[in-house]
Structure 1
């Protein structure tokens, strides 16, 4: 059972935090960061896009979450990944930004997080894999210099209401389809072009911007909520499935660049088809 972070007991918070810190101490956590950086492939790059700007955004991150959850449960079998419902908990002092869970915002001078168990000063969360040389966790909740609001329930519902999972050309430019409406690549420039998932990354700021976003533990709570939305979409559109079902045809620019339903998805060599039904593994509460 993956629970709402706002509903966790003091004991559940402590056990989750302790498991995260132990996975980090063992060196396993930094491997997750490296994997995400390695698969942070954009539309304009050549080759397969498995993790972002593509149909497999959702199954890729579903498997990624499961791998982290399994690592946590090897430390403490009672632990599951909680989710952050950013349509409800929208303030900088609400869940999950409490001292007993993820800590709070970064300080004004350098955005360094100084509260909670993941603060650099606490000694257990030094950033070793990143796209900069920074050693400490940073956040800029709400983006002080140019304020940004978290997505609303209606903006999330806009994605959930689309019955098509994804549409051609299967990238960040599509304006129809649940996947991209949820992933959040929009038209235009600036903050108006960021929707749902993408805007939350921008709202958190700091290390949550870019391929090394896994360095902020909120990454997992955010993606657990995104995964929950895929589950909700599946329940609402039971006759609709992951698309594309097969590879785009010969001559299509996206042929070999996206993962079709029965294609193997790196780095785990599992198919999106095998990840559509997780009812036998976990549920949301």
Structure 2
């Protein structure tokens, strides 16, 4: 059978060649490894596209999460602000309605003027003065001078009495009612005007004065009736306004009274001429 003969040079040469090939392959792999390490460490610009896309998506997701949280926080703050604004509006409306109710509950005529003394608000009591006379109520923005001018020009105000001893001016309205006007400045420089109905007070005062006059007249009559002389009070038109019993008895013409009669119709011309200078001197 044949015999294979191996020489010492063949195995050694083959191993060296294999070693050289392995070393060359290892060197090539080390270069590839080093190149990959450099690319990874050099930044995203040199990263492989799939990895860079993944990293970019992670960054975007984090930014979206942060912005979503900020948006949610802002929305919560906005909701809170809207609630506060709605609550403030409700409170303002409640306060305004309470003010209107308070003004309407005032028994006097109430008018509020701004810093330029232009009408802002009035109550139904004040409006009733105008409506009773068939007049249009002054609209907001009307000056206080124009309000008074309209009231006088339309005949709503019949008389005006200024009394320095009282708080304000007193007016007699066309409906026979008496109102007293009082003014109070506001802290902002505006003006609050109240029109108080004082008809009952005026009537009471008038009744008291009439009673006092009647009482005074009664006492004068008692005194003059006991004076044995002709006593008469003569007005500017020379008519007898008051006389004592002696004068009435002297005049006595079938029960007729001398009151309201003119002196020249009562006395003889000669006596009238004698009395006239003294009467004119008293008048």
Q: Quick check: TM above 0.5?
A: no
Structure 1 or 2: more strand by fraction:
2
TM-score (norm 2): 0.21
Larger RCO (alpha carbons 8 Å, 6+ apart): 1
Structure 1 or 2: more helix by fraction:
2
Q: Greater Rg, structure 1 or structure 2?
A: 2
